[in-house]
Amino acid sequence: SKRPFHRKCEDVSLNTLVVDPLSFTQPPFSSTFTAYPPFNATQQLLRYFNPCRMTSSSYFSKITNWKRKISILIFTTSSLCCCHANLAPLALHQLYEVSSGGELVLALHGYDLNGDKTLATITKLPTSGKLYQLSYVYNKHGYDPKAGVQITSIPCNVTGDKSRLVYKRPAIDQEHNGEWDRFDYTVSDGKASSRAGIVTLIAPSRLVVASDFRLSSEGWSTIGNRKNGVSYEPTSRGVMNRYIYAADNSLNIGRSGDDEDLWYFVLPQKFTGWHGIMYGGSFEFILSSFSGDFSDDKFNFGGDMNLVEIYCERCDLNKGVTIAYPLSSTSGFSGSTKSFSLGMTENEGWLLDPENTLLEWTVPTKCDFIEVISGITSVRILGDFTNWYESVSIDSVNWRSAPPKGRKQLLPCAQGTPDARGCTCK
DSSP 74-137: EEE-SSEEEEEEPPPPB---EEEE--TT-EEEEE---B-TT----EEEEEE--SSSEEEEEPHH
State residue 126's pLDDT score: 98
| Helices assigned H by DSSP within 274-344 | 315-318
- In 3D, which of 255, 342, 335 has the Cα closest to residue 299? 335
Render pLDDT for 189-229 as a digit per residue (tens, 0 to 9): 999 999 999 999 999 999 999 999 999 999 999 998 756 68
Render pLDDT for 299-338 as a digit per residue (tens, 0 to 9): 999 999 999 999 999 999 999 999 999 999 999 999 999 9
Task: Give, rounded to a whole angstrom, the gap between the first and last alpha carbons of the chain.
Answer: 34
Residue 378 CB burial class (10 angstroms; 0-12, 13-18, ≥19): middle
DSSP 58: H
State residue 226's pLDDT score: 59
- Range with the lowest mean pLDDT among 5-9, 41-45, 131-135, 264-268? 5-9
- Quote the mean pLDDT of the chain: 84
State residue 26's pLDDT score: 37
Residues in the chain, total: 426
On whether the CB atoms of residues 174 and 396 are closer than 8 A, the answer is no
User: Does the pLDDT of residue 274 top 90, yes or no?
Assistant: yes
User: Does the pLDDT of residue 277 top 90, yes or no?
Assistant: yes
- Range with the lowest mean pLDDT among 18-27, 102-111, 174-183? 18-27
Q: What share of the chain is helix, strand, coil (3-state, %, to 5)?
A: 15, 35, 50
Task: Provide CB contacts within 8 A for 165, sequence distance 6+.
Answer: 105, 106, 108, 122, 131, 132, 133, 134, 151, 158
Residue 29 CB burial class (10 angstroms; 0-12, 13-18, ≥19): exposed
State residue 84's pLDDT score: 54
d(CA 90, CA 58): 27
- CA atoms 141, 103, 189, 366: torsion sign: positive
Render pLDDT for 30-52 as a digit per residue (tens, 0 to 9): 333 333 333 334 444 444 444 43
Separation in Å, CA 145 to CA 64, 103, 105 = 54, 11, 11
Half-sphere exposure of 359 (CA within 13 A, CB side): 9
**Structure-model confidence comparison of residues 304 and 18, the more confident one:** 304
User: Does the pLDDT of residue 14 top 50, yes or no?
Assistant: no
d(CA 262, CA 276): 29
- Range with the lowest mean pLDDT among 20-24, 285-289, 378-382? 20-24
Mean local confidence (pLDDT), 276-291: 96
Q: Judge if pTM exceeds 0.85.
A: no
Percent of the chain clearing pLDDT 90 (strictly above): 71
User: Does the pLDDT of residue 269 top 80, yes or no?
Assistant: yes
